[in-house]
């Protein structure tokens, strides 16, 4: 198995996640995207991983990142594209890298349209509804034992 110091994890935050802290705080909490990223950096350095972090509102930029960046694991919160994007699903299938899907809110406890994820059945695991901890626990789970 690879050593942790040789592992690069790509973190992708999808559309509107740059608004965290201001956006619907009763659903998404009062922490900002910078707060999440600092916690991720802290956890990554404790585990010895390298992190690449990106936030994008554009589906095509997210597809480009998934397919062009160099990384060993992907942790992705596709945000609204979770429910619509065949392109992001196909990119994940195309590169075939171990991927975890995360959501801040519990997508199964909200509107009907959020209950369908286009990627859940092509990723290794899903963590939903645990706020910032959804991301931290995803990083904690790496490297995957499978
Ligand atoms: C989200 C849930 C999505 O339904 C929503 O569109 C988001 C954020 C979450 O992290 O809870 O933007 O992915």
Q: Check if the beta carbon of residue 34 is closer than 8 Å to that of residue 135.
A: no
Q: How far apart are CA 77 and CA 22, in angstroms?
A: 18
User: Looking at ligand 1, which atom is closest to the CA of residue 114?
Assistant: 4
pLDDT band for 111, please (50, 70, 90 cuts): very high
Average pLDDT of span 91-109 = 98
Of the residues 114, 126, 130, 137, which should be mutated to test ligand 1's pocket, given the most ligand atoms within 8 Å of the CB? 114
* Contact residues of ligand 1, CB 6 A cut-off: 16, 77, 79-80, 82, 103-105, 107, 114
Average pLDDT of span 76-81 = 98
Long-range interactions of 20-23: CB distance < 8 A, separation 24+ = 20/104
Q: Dump pLDDT digits (tens) for 6-25.
A: 999 999 999 999 999 999 99
User: Looking at ligand 1, which atom is closest to the CA of residue 103?
Assistant: 10
| pLDDT for position 77 | 98
Any residues with CB less than 8 A from the CB of 74 and at least 6 apart, and which?
A: 9, 10, 12, 66, 92, 97, 98, 99, 100
146, pLDDT greater than 70:
no
> Number of C-alpha atoms within 13 angstroms, CB side, residue 77?
33
């Amino acid at each position: 198995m690879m050593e942790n110091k040789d592992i690069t994890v790509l973190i992708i935050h999808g559309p509107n996640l740059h608004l965290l802290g201001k956006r619907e705080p009763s659903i998404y909490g009062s922490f900002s995207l910078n707060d999440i990223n600092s916690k991720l950096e802290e956890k990554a350095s404790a585990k010895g991983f390298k992190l690449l972090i990106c936030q994008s509102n554009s589906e095509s930029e997210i597809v480009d990142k998934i397919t062009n960046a160099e990384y060993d694991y992907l942790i992705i919160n596709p945000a609204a594209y979770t429910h619509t994007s065949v392109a992001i699903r196909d990119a994940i299938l195309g590169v075939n890298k171990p991927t975890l899907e995360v959501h801040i809110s519990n997508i199964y406890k909200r509107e009907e349209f959020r209950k369908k994820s286009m990627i859940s059945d092509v990723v290794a695991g899903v963590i939903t509804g645990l706020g910032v901890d959804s991301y931290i626990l995803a990083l904690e789970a790496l490297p995957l034992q499978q």
